[in-house]
């Protein structure tokens, strides 16, 4: 028999507002319009339940014992700082199911992020977790004006990548006609947009610019020839300048989206029509911004690392998860009527992970492939650039032998390396083979990545 305070019985989301298309700006008025006092009271209740729920898991039992705390020590929201941090490495070390807090028979889906040379991270979901996730995404889409009579085209990867299914289920929850177009094949995307009367698209920013280029080539004017009115963009860093350029090109509003597989996926944070920061839903998460070195809180307005604690997760609740994303608090109220904390767009990361076109890549993945070729030396440099609004990667690597005059051999080697890298990171980089001694050598820690993209302005 389940206890009264069991998360599986306490967590529930009221039905969305259904007075009619466009009559309310809120998908869930009760949750979205809470005052700060109501939000904090709600969070404290959920935090206590979540901490108790985590005691079903051996990992957190050990963490709590090492920290010398028990669930009874959590009496105020400030007590969240007593809890241990959780990291991506913790998820790798407990791979595949060591972080689960419910019987495996209760889990209905898993998502997995890409690994480096070790284990990937795995996130498990119960049916209720998926329902709550769909509610989050639907809330975001409703917030920017989408309604059941809209047509939502999801131009995002499906499968293990959460962007596809996350937006799919959210759009269906809202009641829209959904077009699971997936990524790529721009001519087909444009045909769908025109033929199906698509009014909203979800895609990574760099792909939206590519889609516009193909539209131009085909003589398609998005303002004249389509019914588009909303773009949901995210999964890769982008500047305000790039967002405005996308809006100018497509003639519609583009709203920034934040999500990560450890927090379910998309839906964690989203811009409202004011476009003055990402609303992070505090009925689902406790948001902290900490100094990545000291792990102490930073004042509002100062940049730090985003730390999130889940409040409604059954299968895999995460306490104080270090996202490694760098951002800052912009405010806790908004003219849109929501008081959920507003965060700035992500300014980068406190670790070495690169995000390119929505794909997470680690330098060690590049190195692992390069070192498999005996023709290559040990020195390499990864450069990220933005070329005509598209993010690209160039991998320069020194040759071990001085055979640069053998053009055919170099060309074949470059093709082989490119193919191997694409198989590993799922993107096609530019590969440049250079003579030994060409790349700079640092006396200290080697500089492996140079990011020249215009994403942190």
Q: For residue range 237-256, what is the model confidence (pLDDT) as tens digits?
A: 677 877 888 999 999 999 99
Phi-psi region of 262 (alpha: psi -120 to 50; beta: other; left: phi over 0): alpha
- Nearest CA-CA partner of 140 in 327, 284, 319, 332: 284
Sheet with strand 278-280: strands edge to edge: 177-179, 151-154, 200-203, 230-234, 253-259, 266-271, 278-280, 342-343, 329-331
CATH superfamily label, 7-351: ANL, N-terminal domain (3.40.50.12780)
Percentage above 90 pLDDT, the chain = 69
User: Does residue 451 sit in helix, strand or coil?
Assistant: strand
pLDDT averaged over every residue in the chain: 89
**CB-CB contact of 91 with 98 (8 Å):** no
pLDDT at 440: 86
User: Which residues, at least 6 apart from 424, have a Cβ–Cβ distance to it below 8 Å?
Assistant: 365, 366, 368, 369
Phi-psi region of 185 (alpha: psi -120 to 50; beta: other; left: phi over 0): left
Alpha carbons 99 and 113: distance in angstroms, whole number = 15
- Which CATH number applies to 359-451? 3.30.300.30
User: Does residue 380 sit in helix, strand or coil?
Assistant: strand
**Range list for CATH 3.30.300.30 in the chain:** 359-451
Say if residue 302 is exposed, middle or buried (CB neighbours under 10 Å; 0-12, 13-18, 19+). exposed
Place of tokens 């699971």: 180
With vertex at residue 238, the alpha carbon angle to CA 250 and CA 268, rounded to the nearest 5 degrees, is: 100
E-strand ranges in 226-375 read: 230-234, 253-259, 266-271, 278-280, 285-290, 304-310, 321-327, 329-331, 342-343, 354-356, 359-361
**CB-CB contact of 388 with 242 (8 Å):** no
DSSP conformation class of 189: H
Alpha carbons 94 and 310: distance in angstroms, whole number = 18
User: Tens of pLDDT along 298-320?
Assistant: 999 999 999 999 999 999 999 99
pLDDT at 204: 87
| Dihedral sign for Cα atoms in the order 411, 414, 416, 422 | negative
Q: Mark out the alpha helices in 3-99 (DSSP H runs).
A: 7-10, 29-32, 36-54, 58-67, 88-93
User: Tens of pLDDT along 443-453?
Assistant: 445 688 999 98
Measure CA 103 to chain center: 27
**CB-CB contact of 123 with 262 (8 Å):** yes
Structure tokens at 197: 């009367």
Q: Which of 115-129, 150-164, 283-297 has the highest mean pLDDT?
A: 283-297
**CB-CB contact of 430 with 382 (8 Å):** no
**CB-CB contact of 153 with 179 (8 Å):** yes
Residue 25's CB: how many other CB atoms inside 10 A?
A: 18
For the cut 60, the answer to whether the pLDDT of residue 19 exceeds it is: no
Alpha carbons 333 and 358: distance in angstroms, whole number = 30
For the cut 80, the answer to whether the pLDDT of residue 11 exceeds it is: no
Alpha carbons 187 and 290: distance in angstroms, whole number = 45
For the cut 60, the answer to whether the pLDDT of residue 221 exceeds it is: yes
For the cut 60, the answer to whether the pLDDT of residue 161 exceeds it is: yes
**Range list for CATH 3.40.50.12780 in the chain:** 7-351
Across 402-408, average pLDDT: 73
Largest CA distance in the chain: 76
pLDDT at 457: 39
- Nearest CA-CA partner of 233 in 203, 207, 276: 203
User: Tens of pLDDT along 315-366?
Assistant: 999 999 999 998 999 999 999 999 999 999 887 777 777 888 888 887 878 8
């Amino acid at each position: 028999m389940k206890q009264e305070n069991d998360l599986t019985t306490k967590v529930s989301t009221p039905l969305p507002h259904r007075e009619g298309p466009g009559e309310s700006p809120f998908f869930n008025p009760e949750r979205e319009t809470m005052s700060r006092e109501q939000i904090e009271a709600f969070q404290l209740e959920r935090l206590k339940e979540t901490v108790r729920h985590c005691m079903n898991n051996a990992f957190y039992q050990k963490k709590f014992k090492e920290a010398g705390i028990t669930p009874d020590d959590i009496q105020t929201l400030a007590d969240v700082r007593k809890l241990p941090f959780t990291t991506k490495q913790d998820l790798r070390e407990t791979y595949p199911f060591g972080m689960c807090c419910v019987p495996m028979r209760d889990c209905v889906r898993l998502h997995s992020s890409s690994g480096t040379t070790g284990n990937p991270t795995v996130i498990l979901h119960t049916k209720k977790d998926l329902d709550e996730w769909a509610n989050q995404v639907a809330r975001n889409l409703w917030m920017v004006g989408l309604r059941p009579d809209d047509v939502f085209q999801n131009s995002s990867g499906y499968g293990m990548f959460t962007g596809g299914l996350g937006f799919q289920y959210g759009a269906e929850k809202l009641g829209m006609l959904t077009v699971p177009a997936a990524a790529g094949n721009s001519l087909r995307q444009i045909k769908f947009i025109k033929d199906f009367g698509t009014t909203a698209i979800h895609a990574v920013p760099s792909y939206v610019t590519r889609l516009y280029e193909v539209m131009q080539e085909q003589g398609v004017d998005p303002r004249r020839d389509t019914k588009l009115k909303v773009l949901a963009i995210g999964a890769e860093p982008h500047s305000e300048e790039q967002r405005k350029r996308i809006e100018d090109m497509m003639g519609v509003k583009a709203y920034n989206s934040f999500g990560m597989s450890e927090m379910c996926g998309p839906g964690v944070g989203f811009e409202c029509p004011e476009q003055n920061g990402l609303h992070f839903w505090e009925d689902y998460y406790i948001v902290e911004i900490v100094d990545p070195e000291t792990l102490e809180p930073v004042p509002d307005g100062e940049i730090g690392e985003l730390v999130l604690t889940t409040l409604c997760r059954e299968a895999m609740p995460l306490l104080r998860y270090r996202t490694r994303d760098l951002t800052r608090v912009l405010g806790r109220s908004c003219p849109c009527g929501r008081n959920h904390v507003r965060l700035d767009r992500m300014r980068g990361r406190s670790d070495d992970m690169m995000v390119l076109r929505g794909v997470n890549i680690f330098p060690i993945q590049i190195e692992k492939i390069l070192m498999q070729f005996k023709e290559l030396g040990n020195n390499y440099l990864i450069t990220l650039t933005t070329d005509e609004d598209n993010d690209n990667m160039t991998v320069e690597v020194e040759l071990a032998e001085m055979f640069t005059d053998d053009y055919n051999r170099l060309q074949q080697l470059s093709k082989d390396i490119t193919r191997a890298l694409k198989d590993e990171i799922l993107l096609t980089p530019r590969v440049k083979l250079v003579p030994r001694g060409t790349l700079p050598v640092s006396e200290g820690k080697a500089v492996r990545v140079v990011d020249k993209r215009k994403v942190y302005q």
